[in-house]
Amino acid sequence: MKLIIAIVQDRDANKLMKALIKENFKMTKLASSGGFLKSGNTTLMIGVNEEYVDKVITIIGNTCKTREETVVSYSTTEATGIYMPYLSDSKVEVGGATIFTVDVEKYLKV
């Protein structure tokens, strides 16, 4: 048995969970937050037999696409010391999924 841990953006989470449920995969949903943009993430823990790992990863890849977002940066004006937001020219790639697959030594349901 394998445990797939998938970290996805909140905006992709519901669509992913529906796609997994449609294929009869069960999961546990955990709320989490990202590091780089401090945006909301969802962590899904999905326990599957080894032969289904690739199928689950394919569903995740088909559901959680990457996209570009403009970064909002903050600067301090010298005269007032006030933080002012401004749109920078830099764009970052967000979305997709971070996936970990680990061996499960023992599985119990009590």
Identify the helix (H) or strand (E) that includes residue 86: strand 83-95
Residue pLDDT, tens place only, 6-17: 999 888 999 999
Residue type, 29: K
Where do the domains of the chain lie, and which CATH numbers do they carry? Answer: 2-66+95-103 (3.30.70.120)
DSSP state of 21: H
User: Residues of the chain with pLDDT > 90: what percent?
Assistant: 55
Residue pLDDT, tens place only, 18-34: 999 999 999 999 988 76
Residue pLDDT, tens place only, 58-67: 999 999 987 7
User: Residues of the chain with pLDDT > 70: what percent?
Assistant: 70
Task: Check if the beta carbon of residue 4 is closer than 8 Å to that of residue 54.
Answer: no
